[in-house]
Amino acid sequence: MAGRRWTRWLVAIPMVALALATVYPLVFTTNVAVKTRREYVLDRFSLADSLRWANVVEAWTSVGMSRYFVNSLIVVTCSVALLLLFGSMAGFSLARLRFRGSSVLFLGILAALFIPFQVIMVPLARIMADAGLVDTYPGLILAYVAQFLPFTVFLMTSYYSTVPPEIVDAARIDGNTVYGVYWRIMLPIGRPALLSVGVLNALFCWNDVLISLLMMPSAENRTLMVGVTSLRGQYSDDIPVFASGVLIAAIPVLVVYLFLQRQIADGVTAGATKG
């Protein structure tokens, strides 16, 4: 028994070390962000003398991070709203309405889940260019919706499959149309799944760089992550300002993580337990 206990503590040592290695890079970056350039050059590790927000302010204003931030916010909000709307509509239809061809359609959507963006990137760019959607908000939003819709439909379908069919029947007998059932019953019932899928989609869209690079070539339309990549070239000799920009881009995600960690994990594991 004592031996067991001893091994447990032995295992805990690398685990604690790993936990520190997980957190440290962000702590380091935060510390760098509030240092002066001189402080950073002299000593990378020393704690900053005081919390100076001058770097963060500079990154926010003069580099244009504020503009990129707003771009990202608009695109992510619209994309997630559309994903949840279309995903829940399709999920309800596939899970709880009986019609011919539903299983074929579900399989088709499932197949689309396994097409990585890189594989369809070139023709998609051409389709978007032909439609005049490159370098526009609707173009990027549509690209995000297309990218994450199969996943959203899949999760909403498996969630709605757990809703007892009697609920739908009862609502129909009470005089609701199918659309009424969707709007008044299924949307409210779907709230936990919508929250989980919504947060996950928001993270995917917020964190993306490839789709955004492809769809938004001009500088003023950059999203935040593309903005961070451009920051690197501009501020290669002023690391504290660079670190500040990185921090600005990371903070919203960290806040979301603190409050919605469980929902994010639920979304990630749903594919494993239900697939």
Q: Which of residues 134-193 bind other proteins (CB under 8 A)?
A: 142-143, 145-147, 149-150, 153, 164, 166-167, 169-170, 173-174, 177-179, 182
Residue choice 76, 134, 225, 241 for contact with other proteins (CB under 8 A): 225
What does each C-alpha distance from 113 to 2, 51, 149, 154, 243 come to in angstroms?
Answer: 50, 46, 8, 9, 35
Residue 111 Cβ, how far from other proteins at the closest point, in Å? 8
- Spatial contact of 201 and 80, defined as CB atoms under 8 Å apart: yes
- Tell which positions 101-120 bind other proteins, by CB under 8 A: 102, 105, 108-109, 111-112, 114-120
Q: Is 28 in the site for other proteins (CB under 8 A)?
A: yes
Shortest distance, position 142 Cβ to other proteins, whole Å? 7
Q: Is 129 in the site for other proteins (CB under 8 A)?
A: no
Three-class DSSP category at 214? helix
Give the whole-angstrom CA distance, residue 134 versus residue 127. Answer: 9
Contact call for residue 32 and other proteins (CB under 8 A): yes
CA dihedral 233, 244, 139, 141 (to 10 degrees): 150
In angstroms, the CA 130 to CA 58 distance is: 39
Among 89, 135, 195, 238, binds other proteins (CB under 8 A): 89
Closest contact distance (angstroms) between CB of 253 and other proteins is 6
CB of 106 to other proteins, least distance (A): 10
Binding flag, residue 215, other proteins (CB under 8 A): no
- Residue pair 270/155 in contact (Cβ under 8 Å)? The answer is yes
End-to-end CA distance of the chain: 40
Q: Contacting other proteins (CB under 8 A), which of 1, 2, 25, 237? A: 25
- Taking residues 48 to 87 in sequence order and writing x for each that binds other proteins by CB under 8 A, - otherwise, the string is -------------------------------------xxx
The C-alpha atoms of residue 97 and residue 167 are separated, in whole angstroms, by: 12
223 secondary structure, DSSP code: -
Which of these segments, 48-56, 59-67, 73-81, 210-218, binds other proteins (CB under 8 A)? 210-218
CA 45 – CA 49 distance, rounded (Å): 12
How far apart, in whole angstroms, are the C-alpha atoms of residue 246 and residue 46? 20
